Amino acid sequence: MFEVKKVIGQLLMPLPLSLVALMGLMFFIAKTRKGPYIAVWLVLLTTWSISTPYVAQHIIEWDKGTLTAFNPSRHKNIDRIVVLGCNLYPDDSLPSNAQLGSCGLARLVEGIRLANIYPKAQLYVSGYGYGNATSAGLMAKTAQSLGISATRLKQNHNAKDTADEAKMLAPVLVDYDVALV
């Protein structure tokens, strides 16, 4: 019963529901031109299958075996931990951690975990933003609220994308052992 509820729930989401409606309408189209008719069905079925979590999850996990987790026992000394910016949702009425998107928060948690493993390492947080908030600033505030000393934190809030982050951080990271999150 649980599985049936999940499948029905997924079918009632906007994209799958729209695709199911389009598939229903396809039954009313004249089938005189077989080529375009079959092509439209293939596009609809492909779009629908990719939009379901079942197929999407298999696509995401396809190369999962090639990724390995960071193993601190293989890296005795880390001098710098760099956490790259990600999405944010500025709202002054919320605490800094609630303004970070799930991607930014997940990266920061990993950076703080590594900072606890390597207590002498500096934590560099990076990322642009909009309004008065930057990803770097929100991550720095969140890291401090979770026990990371302000003296260990460095911010790079001018980088607009990963290429900018690499250019701006390279001079301060050269000749150091770095963990990148």
Residue 82 pairs in a beta bridge with 124, 180
* pLDDT higher than threshold 90 for residue 66: no
* Domain 72-180 belongs in CATH node 3.40.50.620: yes
Q: Confidence band (pLDDT; 50, 70, 90) for 52?
A: confident
pTM summary value: 0.69
* pLDDT higher than threshold 80 for residue 140: yes
Among the listed residues 17, 38, 20, the one whose alpha carbon sits nearest the alpha carbon of residue 29: 38
* pLDDT higher than threshold 90 for residue 49: no
User: What residue spans of the chain are helical by DSSP H?
Assistant: 2-11, 14-26, 34-51, 53-61, 96-99, 102-117, 135-145, 162-173
* pLDDT higher than threshold 80 for residue 119: yes
| pLDDT one-digit tens code per residue, 75-116 | 889 999 999 988 888 888 899 999 998 889 999 999 999 999
